[in-house]
Structure 1
Amino acid sequence: MKTIPISKPMPILIACLIAVLACFSMTPPTAYGESTGEALTIGVPTNRIPMFYEDPKTGEVKGIGVDLMRAAAEEAGYAVSFKIVNEKTLKQALDNKQYDVVMPFGSALRSASGKQSIVSDNLMQTPFTLVTEENHGNGLPPINKLRIGMLQSLGAVSETVLQLYPGVKITLYKDMLESMQALRSGEVDALLHNSYVWSYILQKPAYSDLTVQSDAVFSMDFRAGALDTPDGRKIIERLNRGISKLSEDRRHEIISSYTSRQMYEYDFSDYIHRYGSICLLCTVIIVVLAAAFWVFHKKSDSID
């Protein structure tokens, strides 16, 4: 049987073809869902555990909102980083060019300077609920006649509340401690925040007498926002592609990873508040025993 001789250039040609194919197979795709390394800076607040907070050990920004947006941004091909907003409100943060995107927003609104914004598709629904003192929960007036306390960082949310419930009086406070003092003093009838944040805050022993009202006041979308510019629209459109790839199971898994575990860490005042009566009782017992021993010892000395 005759064999067909293979010319010497053929093995070289085959080897070159294999090398070219290997190069193509190693080239990373640039379609959405694969990180292109393009940086995206997202401004977020950090006073909303477990939605957004700064890890005291590492300084890293974490939370439900961080993980949801990171997953969506990575699906969109971004290398995302989160930066703490220094502004008092998110409307002011929209005007800061340090951030490509700011979150969270329930809907598009104008920035502090009056510029129109654009928001992404919704990542999740966040129910906002009222918290009252136990003895006041049943006697609350209608919502549109309530005096409600909120944090200054929720200024944008307060505008939505005013639109939904004309007549409600809202007072903004700089932090949770100040708002709690207002509730205790009767300055406001109730405090308003999202239910995920309440699930964390009310783990503090000093707040054990506060009650979350069972019916949600309203639910708000959880979106990212940017100024309505060509660049802003481009970013939001790209993020929307990433958001659309997040399944409901994936979103639920991220939310549950925070809500299903104990996140609140006791400080010294918490231990005193929770175990103070036990510590006082133990101290009294020790003092009584010490006094009894001292009396017994004195009597023994006098007999001798």
Structure 2
Amino acid sequence: MKGFKFLLTLAVLVLFIAACGTDDGGASEKEGSTGEDSGGQTYTVGIDTTYPPFEFEDSSGNYKGIDVDLIRAIAENQGFEVKLEPMDFGGIIPALQAGQLDVAIAGMSITDERKKIVDFSEPYFEAGLTLVSQKGNNEIKTLEDLKGKTVVVKSGTTGAQFAQDNKDKYEYEITVLEDSPSMFQEVSNGNADVLIEDYPVIAYAIAESNLDLKIVGDRLNGDHYGIAVLKGEHADLLDMINTGLQELKDSGKYDEILNTYISE
């Protein structure tokens, strides 16, 4: 009888554990699931939080900006989730190559050089580079005025590449820094004569932070931003990103996001 009672108790215990395991598994699978097609897949997204109005961290420690709102809206539209991973811009493509990131959205210009490493979404923003000097500097108006001057740029950016490509032609020196605020400070302090930055970024920074800087001359080029995944990887994810981006544009949500941070 004791053996029977023991077996009966053991059977009940096994059934109880199995039931608990089923409940936990169901909750775990359901948690984070936002769409049928993707099964609630979570993708790690690289961002550069020193790049307002596209990405920044507010006073409460929350990530904000055009890129942040856009990738979250695309994820919601397409039924997947995102985990934001802030890092220096120059480390984003290496992180994609190392498998530490699935996606990058960081005001990243679509270039032939980057296309060798990543696959881009359809363009989501037209930017363009510009020269920026101290407000009181009236000597510099064009690239021709940079002879013997110091130009500061951010590592890994199209601005840095543009500066390098034109260095010999216009005979200036280059200083490379790791983030936009450091660039702004370098020119404000008079340690560099000009910086090269994406037009919407510096226009926003000057307006919001009352920097002692000004935009000079015309835009240096035409630039389009894209969302990136490692080349040859995540084709299905890239399809979802493009589909979601187009649906946001068609619905007016895309314009709503842009208008939250910038206006023409």
TM-score of the superposition, structure 1-length normalised?
0.61
Deviation at 1:144, TM superposition (A): 9.0
For residues 80 and 257 of structure 1, do their structure 2 counterparts lie closer, same or farther at Cα, with a shift above 3 Å needed? Answer: same
The residue aligned with 1:245 is: 247
Tell me the secondary structure at the aligned position of residue 132 of structure 1: strand
Q: Of 222, 235, 238, which aligns to 2:237?
A: 235
Question: What one-letter code is carried by the residue in structure 2 that aligns with 1:196?
Answer: P
Q: Which amino acid in structure 2 is aligned with residue 99 of structure 1? A: L
Q: Counterparts in 2 of 1:265-280, with a 5 A limit?
A: none
Structure 2, unmatched stretches of 5+, are 1-33
> 1:216: Cα distance to partner?
2.0
One-letter amino acid of the counterpart of residue 127, structure 1 = G
Q: Greater shift after overlay, 39-48 or 239-248?
A: 239-248
Q: 1:142 to 1:199 in 2, by over 3 A?
A: closer
How many equivalent residue pairs?
223
Find the counterpart in structure 2 of residue 72 from structure 1.
74
Runs of 4+ in 1 over 6 A off after TM superposition: none
Structure showing greater Rg: 1
Q: 1:220 aligns with which of 203, 223, 244?
A: 223
> For residues 1-304 of structure 1, what are the structure 2 equivalents within 5 Å?
30=36, 36-57=39-60, 59-85=61-87, 88-104=90-106, 105-108=108-111, 116-137=117-138, 139-142=140-143, 145=146, 147-152=150-155, 154-160=156-162, 162-163=164-165, 167=169, 169=172, 170-176=174-180, 178-184=182-188, 187-202=191-206, 203-205=208-210, 207-208=211-212, 210-213=213-216, 215-229=218-232, 231-247=233-249, 249-259=252-262
Deviation by residue 1:44-75 (Cα, 9 ceiling, x = unmatched): 11001221012331x33211111122222333
Question: How far does residue 157 in structure 1 lie from its aligned partner after superposition?
Answer: 4.2
Aligned-partner Cα distance in 1 for 2:235–2:109: 17
Q: State the Cα RMSD in Å.
A: 3.3
C-alpha spacing 1:29/1:185, structure 2 compared with 1 (3 Å): closer
| CA displacement at 1:29 relative to structure 2 | 7.7
Cα offsets for 1:108-160 (capped at 9, x unmatched): 5667xx972211111111233222123434544535956421223x5354225
Could you tell me the TM-score, scaled by structure 2's length?
Answer: 0.69
Contact residue 127 and residue 195 of structure 1 kept, 8 A: yes
Query: Whole-Å Cα distance in 2 between the matches of residues 142 and 87 of structure 1?
Result: 25
Whole-Å Cα distance in 2 between the matches of residues 69 and 219 of structure 1?
23
Structure 1 segments unaligned to the other structure (5+ residues): 1-27, 261-304
In 2, are the aligned partners of 1:37 and 1:79 still within 8 Å (CA)?
yes
- Mapped to 1, the partners of 2:118 and 2:74 lie a distance apart of 20
Q: Is the alpha carbon distance of 1:89 and 1:171 closer, same or farther for their aligned partners in structure 2, counting shifts above 3 Å?
A: farther
**1:215 to partner: Cα distance:** 2.3
* Alpha-carbon spacing, 1:141–1:156, altered in 2? closer, same or farther (3 Å): closer
Contact kept in structure 1, 2:141 and 2:216, CA below 8 Å: no
1: CA distance, partners of 2:166 / 2:223: 12
User: Is the 8 Å Cα contact of residues 140 and 216 (structure 2) preserved in structure 1?
Assistant: no
Residue type of the partner of 2:75?
A: A
Instruction: Show the counterpart of 1:301.
Output: none
Q: Distance in 2 between matches of 1:141 and 1:234?
A: 44
**Whole-angstrom distance in 1 between the partners of 2:64 and 2:99:** 22
Give % identity.
22
One-letter amino acid matched to 2:161: E
